[in-house]
A and B are shown apart, each in its own frame.
Chain A
């Protein structure tokens, strides 16, 4: 069975702090894709990153970084030096052939100025 777990429902940090959003997934497939999305207060979901299951190299994009570890089935997202504009709900997701796209329940991040 496919499953994505985001155990952190809500997180609050003070501006300029670093914050890590956790994502744990379950799948029996050996090849799959993992994703992160951002949903700001406006509501539209914004795609952030896709990672292939056969590529465990971590990725950095500006203040954003992602840590993919197949050994622990985790795909965590870190925001460095958080800003108020980072306040949003963040979703982790999983897809594999023959299975629907699975979203986690989301983590609501509030950055306090």
Chain B
């Protein structure tokens, strides 16, 4: 069966510090991978998605970046965090067919507080 891991679970970082969140998927090959951010009490904002190694699409211009160094590894990074980067970060994976993406499966999330 497939599982998705995300760490750390919680993180408190000062403004201006770097960020690295990691997500790995087990039990599937060549998944579509996604990073979302959810502000408190709000909906899901798609940040990045990837359909393959080294292929990253950005949905929202910001000081965050993403990389996919391996098939089942997706990393979210920042060189300098802003207060507005605080939120709940979720990684997800899916497969797809000719009509669209199948359901996305989400990791447990990382609660990031920038102080």
Contact = CB atoms under 8 A, between A and B. Distances in A.
- Say if A and B assemble together: yes
Interface of A: 29, 31-33, 35, 43-47, 50, 52-53, 91, 93, 95-97, 99-101, 103-106
Given A35-B103, A47-B103, A96-B99, 5 more contacts: A29-B100, A33-B101, A95-B101, A101-B94, A106-B43
Given A44-B107, A44-B108, A97 B100 contact: yes
B107 A31 contact: no
Contacts of A99: 100
- Which 4 A-B pairs rank lowest in CB-CB distance, beginning with the nearest? A95-B100, A95-B101, A105-B43, A45-B106
B interface secondary structure, majority: strand
For A46, A93, A101, the residue with the greatest tally of chain B CB atoms inside 10 Å of its CB is A101
A33 B102 contact: yes
Interface in B85-115: 88, 90, 92, 94, 96, 98-109, 111
A20 B109 CA distance: 28
16 contacts: A43-B109, A43-B111, A45-B90, A45-B106, A47-B103, A47-B104, A53-B99, A91-B43, A96-B100, A97-B100, A100-B59, A101-B104, A103-B44, A105-B42, A106-B43, A106-B44
B99 A32 contact: yes
B43 A97 contact: no
B70 to A, nearest CB: 22
A108 B39 CA distance: 15
Contacts of A97: 96, 98-100
B43 A33 contact: no
Interface of B: 34, 42-44, 46, 49, 59, 88, 90, 92, 94, 96, 98-109, 111
Given A45-B90, A91-B43, A91-B44, A101 B101 contact: yes
A29 B25 CA distance: 30
Contacts of A91: 43-44
Contacts of B94: 101
A95 B49 CA distance: 14
